[in-house]
Amino acid sequence: MAAVHGPKRPSIMSRSPEDTTSVNLYDRLFEQQLEAGASVLLATENVVDAYLDNKPATRGKQKYSRHQRDSDFWSSDVVNGIPSEAWQAEGATLALARYLGQEPVANPLLLERIAAESPRLVRRAVRYSGLVLQQHSPRRTELDRIASSNPNIAEFCRMLDIFDGAYRERVATVDIWKKMLVDLSPFEILIYASLYAFERLNPAEFAMPWRPTEERSVAEGQWQAINDILIWKLATASATSLRPKEKDLGRSLRTHLSPYLFPSPDGPPPRHDLRAAFEALLEAQIELNSFISQSADAFSFDDGIEFVRIGDRALDIVERDASVRAAWKRDGRKLERLHGYWFYRALVEFFHSDLATKTIGLPENHEANRVACIRAIRTKLQLTDVYGLDDAVTTDSGVQVDLFQALLATELTSAFYQRDFLQAFVTHLNETGHWAPALSLLALEGIATGHNRFPLTWSDRKAKIERIVGWTVSKKSPRGSPLMAAAILDFWTNDLVTLAARLRQGEPGLHPKLFERPILKMDRLLIQLPWIFGLQNNSTAAINNLRRIGARRGDARLETRRIEEQLGRLFESRGFRVVLNWQPVDESDARAGEVDLICALGRIVLVLEVKSTFIRQSQRDAWLHGTTTLRKAGHQLRRKVPAVERALSEGSDLAAELNLAGDAGSVSVHGWIVDTSIECDHQRFSGFLKVSLEEVLIALRDDRHLLNDPAGILSGRFQEHDIAISDDAHTERSLYPRGFTVEGFMDAVEKEAVWEEPGC
């Protein structure tokens, strides 16, 4: 294929506009782009972007499926005639990665042609496609055929073979141990998970309110593996095991839990074989997950490294760009510091409220309840200021729940499990020196006082509502509200019966993780895991409960609009003129669409594209966010910024609203992508800077000192019962020592001054 030729023009001009069923929509779009005056390369790029953005969404009056879209795109004349230089563009590489990542549609001749011209591009697309873990795909067969005559692809396939062997080996090990536990019910799996947790999940740290990041990440890796095992069990369990009756629970407890807590020569012996098998399965699952995240995902999504083959069975990692890897770690540290920032914001709000002078709950629980209130305030501030939530949210059942009450309930639950389970267990562990008698003493204490102190707890819905109704006490409901308690319960509940049905039917969709909705429901039975509830990050749990699992809630659109409004008010507090949701009036700019936020001060204009998502925990998810949502945001700004510039230059109403009437030529317009997530922070998309919404918020508020743990609370220098803060206790050099200016604000954001630590 000669590089000088453009794609062949499809012959569609003689067809009627209504005849959409026989016309390739991507060829039609290409023709339209050329007729509008676009160059061949630009028209090609726009067609590729449409495909990556899952457009068109409909074909005539019918929904355009993913399979139909793939089929039309890869059979189109425009794609099969793309010039060589066009394949070097990022969008084309991502499109090729999508081809390699799907199975139904084949175009082996095109892949062979691209590989002959640019094997490096094909290798890159293979990495992005995730084919490394999908080597049963016919796309891998196509690569093998190409490898027979292409040494570069042949070497790459050898590396894929090594990955495939290592992956299959780990999957096989997991499957072997699963067979040992195939007869266990989901409830029994949770029993062995809980025994493991109290034996192995850093029991000495159960008594610590704050744990180092490294220790939390190890525990979270174990939680994820337990979550994976539970998902497997739900997908394979019988319907009756998901709806256990009282006699079933009794049998499970007598066989699998009581022998460890209350050993007796007259009772059944402990099932050490099953406990050992569960531990082996968990270790195998952790190893598999580690291989996927640290090897396969690194191979696929880490552009800072490259894998090289050593012999026939080993690979080595060569670092190609240290800055890429450093950026990933830096974003993780930013998340940690933001967590502290919101805690200190909550601390200030708490000590300026009437709660600071009240005894919260029973006197002996006051300090723990006080901290729970502060943490609930922390998460509410973050959810309202960053994610646009209102004072009430709607649960999956359609009932509205008071946001603060829902957050406070989970914080009080965490405090309860921390104090009455985890710390009490550590005390007994120090006395006995062994986890089993320590758990026995804990359970016996509960029996003596009429409470459940087993390593996992269970109750029916009515009993659980009665237990938490006291946490809904307010001026409106001085004795608490059972209706509110029920709504809070629903807010944090993961219905395992429904989830199991979806898994068995292979329905697509997101599955709540253990910490996102930590109340596990099996029919009328509600199960809680003290080692999850007592140690989880409730802030991340709440954000992902609402923004990941609940992304399709009816309130989500209103919340997005509220984010823009609140950010606009914050800009206005600094003297900016703000226009929300501006629509271009010029027909030539119609494709630009609605502009989320336009802020002007002096002769500088900021055009902001606001994105709201959730907190990601893997490199793969971060890469997907960058190559989908953020990439699309860059393209949107590429259209919106010129539309704003034209409107201002033409003396439109927009100029008057922004107080920019007069010499429009002196106006400087800048576009930013402002995103609620930290991923890809300070990267550029289509030339536009991506920054986190929280960074913009901190820069406008000028309170970056709260990022630096000013009282040493998070570093452990203070115990929680010593928490106190005053208005002037944390004065630190302002971002604007000579006063706030728009130039100073932009400089602070663009140079990441918000993130500078003391001494930097």
Q: Which of 659-663, 694-698, 731-735 has the highest mean pLDDT?
A: 694-698
Determine how β-strand 493-495 pairs with β-strand 457-460: unpaired
* CA-closest candidate to residue 493, choices 530, 545, 534: 545
Residue 332 has pLDDT above 60, yes or no: yes
pLDDT tens-digit readout, 648-671: 988 788 999 998 876 656 899 999
pLDDT tens-digit readout, 236-286: 999 999 999 999 999 999 999 999 999 988 889 999 999 999 999 999 999
> Sorting pLDDT into bands at 50, 70 and 90, what band is 732?
low
Both tokens of 672, joined, read 């930013």
CB 735 within 8 A of CB 753: yes
**pLDDT averaged over every residue in the chain:** 87
Q: Give the chain's end-to-end CA distance (angstroms, integer).
A: 54
Residue 619 has pLDDT above 60, yes or no: yes
Question: What's residue 550's pLDDT?
Answer: 75
> Sorting pLDDT into bands at 50, 70 and 90, what band is 123?
very high
Question: What's residue 615's pLDDT?
Answer: 82
> How far is CA 735 from each of CA 692, 704, 709, 746, 747, rounded to the nearest angstrom?
17, 8, 17, 11, 10
Residue 601 has pLDDT above 90, yes or no: yes
Residue of 236 and 393 predicted with greater confidence = 236
Residue 414: half-sphere exposure toward Cβ, Cα within 13 Å: 26
Q: What is the mean pLDDT of residues 132-146?
A: 94
Interatomic CA distance for residues 494 and 507, integer angstroms: 17
Residue 511 has pLDDT above 90, yes or no: no
> How far is CA 528 from each of CA 187, 461, 525, rounded to the nearest angstrom?
11, 12, 10
Both tokens of 724, joined, read 């106190």
Residue 723 has pLDDT above 70, yes or no: no
**Neighbouring C-beta atoms of residue 699, cutoff 10 Å:** 24
Interatomic CA distance for residues 50 and 583, integer angstroms: 22
Residue of 336 and 688 predicted with greater confidence = 688
Burial profile 546-563: b = 16 or more Cβ within 10 angstroms, e = fewer = bbbbbeebebbeebbebb
> Sorting pLDDT into bands at 50, 70 and 90, what band is 725?
very low
Interatomic CA distance for residues 602 and 304, integer angstroms: 41
Residue 74 has pLDDT above 50, yes or no: yes
Residue by residue, DSSP assigns 267-320 as SPPP-HHHHHHHHHHHHHHHHHHHHIIIIIHHHHH-TTEEEEEETTTEEEEEES
Q: Which of 203-207, 309-313, 387-391 has the highest mean pLDDT?
A: 387-391
pTM of the predicted structure, to 2 decimals: 0.88
* CA-closest candidate to residue 136, choices 113, 112, 160, 111: 160
Q: How many residues would you count in the chain?
A: 760
> Sorting pLDDT into bands at 50, 70 and 90, what band is 155?
very high
> Sorting pLDDT into bands at 50, 70 and 90, what band is 558?
confident
